[in-house]
Structure 1
Amino acid sequence: MHDLLLGLGRRLLRPVPVHEQPHAVPFEAETAVVGERFVEGLATRLGGAYTIGAATGLMDDFNQLRSPIFDPTQVHATVRDFYEHTDRYEMRLQPAWHPLARLFFIFFRSTVSQPIQQFCFPVSQAEAAQGLGSRIDTLDVDLDGRIDVRAWVRVALSSKKPMYVGIYTVYRPSGSAAAYISVGFPLPDANLTATLRPSATPSGGLLLRSRIRGDTTPGDYLCDAAPDEELRVRRLSFLSERIHVHVDEQGLKTEHDFYWWGLRFLRLTYSLSSRKVDD
């Protein structure tokens, strides 16, 4: 079933030269399963030094996002620390589904997400309460001591299977006034890339959005790299995301909202707490 659904999705793709979609994160699963050891498999294909559970964050320096329209110093120090030292944080998750979306996703998860071990979001509070593990896997392809690939792996502690595997990059278009976070989610012979533009909220929070009026770069893209290096891609105009990372009286929190034609169908609320560095 998952092969059929993914195949139907690829029929929607249109050929686009690679240079026209430089923000796409072109990592695909070459097998039918993505799995929590995706980066280890990537290391086998590309070579280099693979580290599981590296002592690092989603980026080395939050200032990588600095641009004429975004000042990283306006974001709370705890939010910046989370992005630079993601490995030091543990999380609790609360999902809030639109009722109809939840029914659809139960079917989708059993037929697609679970077989390929990607996008296995919890469908109930009870399931989420069983716990969520988090780690950063890295790959240094050319052995120069710098990380070339970093993937955030979140694993359901009850099943020991990944909720999702996302490869995080900072994308800065030539001549653009903005820098973006692009997250590539590997799929079998395909990839879903979410490109998000950062902004600071008045209270020091970080807002990441995949849909911004007047900016055509942010978005959610389904893409597939063909053997001839042509990138087939389709912007999923019906899908958009909004992530708010902030500090309140209870500590560091993240609300990750997913929208279908502007209607929110899922909110994932993460409560984040710092753990001991030597855990």
Structure 2
Amino acid sequence: MPHVLDLGSRSFWRLTGRRVDLDGAERWLDAPVSSSARVGTDWIGTEAARHGGVLGEADPDAGLLPSMSVLDGPGFAADRLNPLVRDFYEHTARWRMDVWSGWSPVFWPAGELISRLWGRRVEQLALPMRPLDVAHGMDSHVTPVRNRDGLHVASAWTRTLRASGRTVFSGAYSARTLPGAAGPSVHVAFPLESGNLQVFLRPSITPDGGLLLQSPRGRFGDDGAYVVVREAGEHAARVPLHETFHVFVDPDGVLRTDHELRMWGVSALRLHYRLERES
């Protein structure tokens, strides 16, 4: 039986969102959903089957994108990236992550409430609330999702806390071009029961070969974050969640990522990742 909180949240997004046609004009919002409240990883096989494919095993050499060149377009050329940055996105499964987190005191109570009532229960978007939550780092598994012709559709990236094994994030990563956009964006979809949270991130390259991914403010149809509900019709709403990822190589040759999450333009959470390639 659906949890009352999940029913309530889906009702809220249906009321505040707009009707969409995920097989038509808003096909750019078509993304995987979970068939149950606990997300886990079952959605990955379902998504492969939806595209007529068969799910294989997690690939120890898989990346979030088959090649960074899928993002090439006006203002972006993958061959300008630092080789370590490119290697991380093309061979993500080979990289080990250590993580540090810091919440804004203003947003910490809301984050703790969401984590307790939703994130940990559904094992999705379970943001770390305390530095010790991620003190032992994160493990990750990448599973390519392919269609009936063997073509790459997305990469399923599941991240778990190394100390407890608890799932923190499980999402589908791909390149997708928004209507009217000059070039592709990085598209991330986090399945939820009867819906999902999606983020479109605009890529750019820094002068030193680092990667910037940003979901700025904008209109419906622009880069940014969206909640989609597939229940009693199809509805979608743009949400005031904005993110910036800066992936770079520090002066000691170490690959790092600064990740900032903002609500209504105000910083809510900062995460820092130290990335190390395993042989």
TM-score when normalising by structure 1: 0.89
1:40: Cα distance to partner?
Answer: 3.3
Give the match for residue 123 of structure 1: 129
Q: Which position in structure 1 is the counterpart of 2:185?
A: 180
SS of 2:55's partner is strand
2:200 to 192, 195, 204: 195
Range with greater deviation from structure 2 (28-37 or 192-201): 28-37
Stretches of structure 1 lacking an aligned partner (at least 5 in a row): none
Q: Which amino acid aligns with 2:195?
A: A
How far the C-alpha of 1:257 sits from its partner, in A, is 0.8
Counterpart Cα distance in 1 of 2:72 and 2:87:
15
Over 3 Å counting, the alpha-carbon distance change for 1:212 and 1:199 in structure 2 is farther
Which secondary structure does the structure 1 equivalent of 2:85 belong to?
helix
Contact 2:65 2:154 in 1 (8 A): no
Give yes or no for contact 1:25–1:193 (8 Å, CA) kept in 2: no
Which blocks of at least 5 consecutive residues in structure 2 are unaligned?
Answer: none
Q: Secondary structure at the match of 1:100?
A: coil
Q: CA deviation at 1:60?
A: 0.9
Cα deviation for residue 233 of structure 1 reads: 0.9
Amino acid at match of 2:99: L
**CA–CA separation in structure 1 for the residues paired with 2:21 and 2:156:** 26
- What are the Cα deviations for residues 162-203 of structure 1, in whole angstroms up to 9, with x where unaligned? 111110111134664221111111111111110011011112
Match of 2:16, SS?
coil
Alignment partners' CA distance in 1, 2:155 and 2:167: 16
For residue 256 of structure 1, what is the aligned residue in structure 2?
Answer: 259
1:103 matched residue in structure 2: 109
Q: 1:117 to 1:6 in 2, by over 3 A?
A: farther
Assess, with a 3 A threshold, how the Cα gap between structure 1 residues 21 and 46 changes in structure 2: closer, same or farther: closer
Would the aligned equivalents of 1:211 and 1:219 in 2 still touch at CA under 8 Å? yes
Contact kept in structure 2, 1:79 and 1:245, CA below 8 Å:
yes
- From 89, 108, 130, give the equivalent of 1:83: 89
Q: Does 1:272 align with 2:278?
A: no
Contact 1:24 1:184 (C-alpha < 8 Å) held by counterparts: no
1:241 equivalent in alignment to 2:249: no
Q: More deviation in 43-52 or 239-248?
A: 43-52
Report the aligned-residue RMSD: 2.3
- How far off its partner does 1:215 sit? 10
Amino acid aligned to 2:106: L
What is the aligned partner in structure 2 of residue 48 from structure 1? 53
2:158 is the counterpart of 1:153: yes
Alignment partners' CA distance in 2, 1:231 and 1:214? 19
Q: TM-score, length-normalised on structure 2?
A: 0.89
SS in 1 for 2:28: coil
Distance in 1 between residues matched to 2:139 and 2:215, nearest whole Å = 26
Post-superposition offset of 1:73: 2.0
